[in-house]
Amino acid sequence: MKVAAKLEHINEQILEACRTVNRKPDEIKVIAVTKYVSTERAMEAVEAGILNLGENRDEGLLKKWEVLGDKPKWHFIGTLQTRKVKNIIDKVEYIHSLDRLSLAEEINKRAVKPVKCLVQVNISEEESKHGLTPEEAIEFIIQLQPLKNIRVEGLMTMAPFTDDENVLRNSFRGLRQLRDQIMELQLDYAPCTELSMGMSNDFAIAIEEGATMVRIGTALVGEDG
């Protein structure tokens, strides 16, 4: 199926989720996660009007960047090795996976201007998941204060791998509550307004729970049917 057709379907679902909770659709950024697909498919997504693309590896991002440049805004959504920061730092609009001080220090050192970052939280505290626990996230954000090139725009999480709507909803709600707690600290370098949560299978629930960025791969750019 064409990306344009898939986008239309996703947009309908976003509208419906917004209607359910009285939100405005323009509060939500749709990030097309292109990590599984070709550069051509990513280009098709941009031509369909998608403004934000997400990649989880530096190789994938650089390969597509060669062709697409900064026509779309790039979001780095995967585990970022410290030594790879220099490869992507001048190409990305947001880094969604800030999860440790050594990484923050490297971003701070390599950047020529403040970088929009999201702190990755393991809200369900699953062993297998990356990210900080809620308690760690608060302490971590406080530690970032001296790093002038780090701006904490918000939080990111990956929900547990389940179809249980209550479990998903509770995770997203937990991230929003943590975000609100951090906002209350009123740190000038950490406005923390963004919530990056929700993927192909759970983005509607995430939007109902306050997502401002949804990261959609398979359902939006997947090349299968």
Question: Does residue 195 interact with ligand PLP by CB under 6 A?
Answer: no
> In the numeric block, which tokens belong to residue 32?
């097309």
Q: Which of 3, 103, 158, 204 binds ligand PLP (CB under 6 A)?
A: 158
> What secondary structure does DSSP assign to 5-48, as a single string?
HHHHHHHHHHHHHHHHHT--GGG-EEEEE-TTS-HHHHHHHHHT
Under the binding rule (CB under 6 A), the answer on residue 215 touching ligand PLP is yes
Nearer to ligand PLP by C-beta: 78 or 147?
A: 78
Whether residue 97 contacts residue 75, with contact meaning beta carbons closer than 8 Å, is answered with no
Phi-psi region of 109 (alpha: psi -120 to 50; beta: other; left: phi over 0): alpha
What does the per-residue mask of binding to ligand PLP show for 93-132, with x meaning CB under 6 A? ----------------------------------------
CB of 203 to ligand PLP, least distance (A): 8
Q: Tell whether residue 75 is a contact of ligand PLP (CB under 6 A).
A: no
- Which amino acid is located at 170 in the chain? N
Site residues for ligand PLP, window 6-65 (CB under 6 A)?
A: 33, 35, 56
CA distance 210 to 220: 20
Spatial contact of 111 and 149, defined as CB atoms under 8 Å apart: yes
- Report in angstroms how near the CB of residue 79 gets to ligand PLP at its nearest: 9
- Other C-beta atoms lying within 10 Å of the C-beta of residue 113: 8
Q: Give the residue with the Cβ less far from ligand PLP, 82 or 218.
A: 218
Residue with smaller CB distance to ligand PLP, 32 or 141: 32
Q: Indicate whether 218 belongs to the interface with ligand PLP (CB under 6 A).
A: yes
Q: Which residues contact 193 (CB under 8 A, 6 or more apart)?
A: 153, 154, 179, 183, 212
Q: Choose the stretch contacting ligand PLP; rule: CB under 6 A; options: 100-108, 136-144, 146-154, 210-218.
A: 210-218
Nearer to ligand PLP, 147 or 159 (CB): 159
Query: Under a CB-based contact definition with an 8 Å cutoff, are residues 194 and 212 in contact?
Result: yes
Tokens describing residue 123? 């809200």
- What residues are paired with 187 via a beta bridge? 190
Part in contact with ligand PLP (CB under 6 A); list of ranges 60-68, 82-90, 145-153, 214-222: 214-222
Among positions 46, 199, 206, 207, the unique one binding ligand PLP when judged by CB under 6 A: 199
> Residue 188 and residue 149: Cα distance in Å, rounded?
12
Binding site for ligand PLP (CB under 6 A): 33, 35, 56, 77-78, 158, 199-200, 215-219
